[in-house]
A and B are shown apart, each in its own frame.
Chain A
Amino acid sequence: MRYIHGFRDGAAAAALAARIAAAADPAREYHLMEFCGGHTHAIFRYGVQNLLPRNVRLVHGPGCPVCVLATPRLDAAIALAGRANVTFLSYGDMLRVPASKRRSLLEARALGADVRMVYSALETLEVAAANPGREVIFFAIGFETTTPATAHLILEAQRLELKNLSVYCNHVVTPAAIQSILDAPGTRRWDSVRIDGFIGPSHVSAVIGSRPYEAFAAEHRKPVVIAGFEPLDVMQAVDMLVRQLNEGRASIENQFTRGVTRDGNRTAQALMGEVFELRTEFEWRGLGVLAAGGVRIRSKYSAFDAENRFQIKFGTVRENAACQCPSIIRGVKKPADCTIFGTVCTPRNPIGSCMVSAEGVCAAYYKYGRRAMSTAGELKPA
């Protein structure tokens, strides 16, 4: 497909690399955070960091909903799935993720729970209609890319009068997370982490538009370039950020013009607004409790809210003390700064949030062989 492979062209990547190298001022450093796990993955998969001058550094952010789901909420999901007469539907990403005591949804299934993987939230409708005697619960996770789908599911369930369908809502919101990184004391102290600009998420922005980022650019004087997920998209975004920083500008620019507008998808926003409301606070694994960090189902749809219907209680979980994920997803540390990275904590046996999902920072470092890379971004001698 032209609109995928066209954005992976090697000659254009090399030319963009030359263009960035020519623009980057050797006398200064550029620390650019890609918020989204999809970007992190593209950067590693295509070796984008190696195409950039040494003073242009990519800092990896927290944008992976699988990674940031708080462990007590995953524990509750596993408990829900294990109830009698429950069919529990989840996106494939969540099945392997270990909760406390190393349990997972996949393990729950092995122990007899009816856990099923779905590609689309709407498959829940078919399962609920086909199994009227069972409680069918959809495990809703994701950023604003996925939230409208869940909203549509709830409205359809209401229209079809499916009384046995409910949604366990764990949707998170992007602006709160960016705000948290910008507000963290670490970001303001020059010696811990420095972020000069952001590469913004493309598909989240296709829904919410570029307008929500305008506040960050104005308040924190940080440029944001919304970029697609293909390697040329990321490189062009880096080029645009370097030029903005050189000119001393902090604007919202849009590289992903083929999918993002300033207003975003109004239909999707209206659906989200109809069904969901912001929670006062929501816990993110690794980032802690964020003000307005997630959404919940409005009370008029509470019949479809699994948290209500099953009176879910959340426990407390202590994370492994050696795990550096909270610093890693803020961009303060690199995986190699963590003593358990690649030894105790591996993709097969993940301890922290950055390793649990394939899109996590540690998982990307592990998969693409950057185990030896230190904070300075240099390869350690073997």
Chain B
Amino acid sequence: MCLAIPVRVTAILDSGWAETDIGGVVTRVSTALVDEPAVGDYLIVHAGFAITRLNVVEAEKTLALFAEIAAHYQRAGVALYPRLS
């Protein structure tokens, strides 16, 4: 129910709406809950409403951390085959 997806703003429409893109699907979302989104911003959208901005700097930090952890374990030669139950 509370699932929401990140979308990229492609155009600002009038009165609280934006046109957004998610993997090639273009859809109109309400921006009533976020302050002044701009073209190129990422928004997190739930049931037609952007509930917040996606903080790209933080997202990149998290992704970089995952990449670092993956690289570290690969360097250390740890077998990355988890237990199968």
Binding site for B on A (CB under 8 A): 1-4, 6-7, 9, 11-12, 14-19, 36-38, 50-51, 53-54, 63-66, 91, 93, 119-123, 141-143, 145-146, 148-149, 152, 201, 203-204, 206-207, 229, 232, 236, 255, 257-260, 265, 267-268, 271, 357, 359, 378-379
Contact of A14 among B4, B22, B73, B85 (CB under 8 A): B73
Pair B2/A143 contact, Cβ less than 8 Å: yes
Q: Could you list 29 A-B pairs, sorted by A, with CB under 8 Å?
A: A3-B42, A6-B63, A7-B62, A12-B70, A14-B70, A15-B69, A38-B3, A50-B83, A53-B83, A63-B2, A64-B1, A93-B1, A120-B49, A121-B49, A122-B49, A143-B2, A146-B1, A149-B49, A203-B4, A203-B44, A204-B2, A206-B44, A236-B66, A257-B62, A258-B54, A259-B55, A265-B51, A267-B33, A359-B1
Q: Please indicate which of the listed interface residues B6, B51, B80, B85 has the most CB atoms of chain A within 10 Å of its own CB.
A: B51
Interface residues contributed by chain B, number (CB under 8 Å): 46
Whether A206 touches B47, Cβ cut-off 8 Å, given contacts A50-B83, A232-B66, A257-B62, is no
Q: Are B85 and A119 in contact (CB under 8 A)?
A: no
A4 touches B51 (CB 8 A): no
Within 8 Å by CB of A122, from B8, B30, B66, lies B30
Q: How far is the CB of B20 from chain A (nearest CB, A)?
A: 11
> Which residues on the B side are within 8 Å of A119 (C-beta)?
47-48
The residues of B that contact A268 with a CB separation of less than 8 Å are 33, 51
Q: How far is the CA of A128 from the CA of B64 in the complex (A)?
A: 48
> B44, B65, B74 — which one has the most chain A CB atoms within 10 A of its CB?
B44
Nearest chain B residue, comparing its CB with the CB of A91: B47
Asked if B67 and A12 make an inter-chain contact with CB atoms under 8 angstroms apart, the answer reads yes
Are A379 and B85 interface neighbours, CB within 8 A?
A: yes
Q: Is B14's beta carbon under 8 Å from chain A?
A: no
Looking across the interface, which residue of chain A has its beta carbon closest to that of B51? A206
- State the main secondary structure of chain B at its contact with A: mixed
Contact assessment for B51 and A148 in the assembled complex, using a CB-CB cutoff below 8 Å: yes
Question: Chain A contacts of B70 at CB under 8 A?
Answer: 9, 11-12, 14-15
By beta carbon, the residue of chain B nearest A271 is: B33
A4-B6, A6-B66, A38-B2 given; 5 more Cβ-contact pairs under 8 Å: A2-B63, A15-B78, A15-B80, A122-B30, A148-B33
For A65, the closest partner residue in chain B by CB is B1
A50 touching B85 in the complex, CB below 8 Å, given contacts A12-B70, A15-B72, A19-B73: yes
A265→B43 CA distance, assembly (Å): 13
- Tell me if B32 is interfacial: C-beta within 8 Å of chain A: yes
Q: How far is the CA of A257 from the CA of B73 in the complex (A)?
A: 24
Expressed in whole angstroms, the minimum distance between the Cβ of A122 and any Cβ of chain B is: 6
Write the nearest CB–CB distance from A314 to chain B, whole angstroms. 22
The answer to whether A121 touches B47 (Cβ under 8 A) is yes
The residues of B that contact A204 with a CB separation of less than 8 Å are 2
Taking CB atoms, residues of chain A closer than 8 Å to B51 are 145, 148, 203, 206-207, 265, 268
A-B CB proximity, top 8 nearest: A120-B48, A14-B80, A258-B59, A15-B73, A12-B66, A257-B58, A145-B2, A15-B70
Chain B positions within 8 Å of A229 at CB level: 3
Contacts of A141 in B (CB 8 A): 1
Q: In the complex, A141 Cα to B78 Cα: how many Å?
A: 47
A201–B85 Cα gap in the complex (Å)? 28
B residues less than 8 Å from A3 (CB atoms): 6, 42, 54, 56, 59
- Closest Cβ of chain B to A222, distance in Å, is 21
Contacts of A2 in B (CB 8 A): 63
Residues on B with beta carbons closer than 8 Å to the beta carbon of A258: 54-56, 58-59, 62
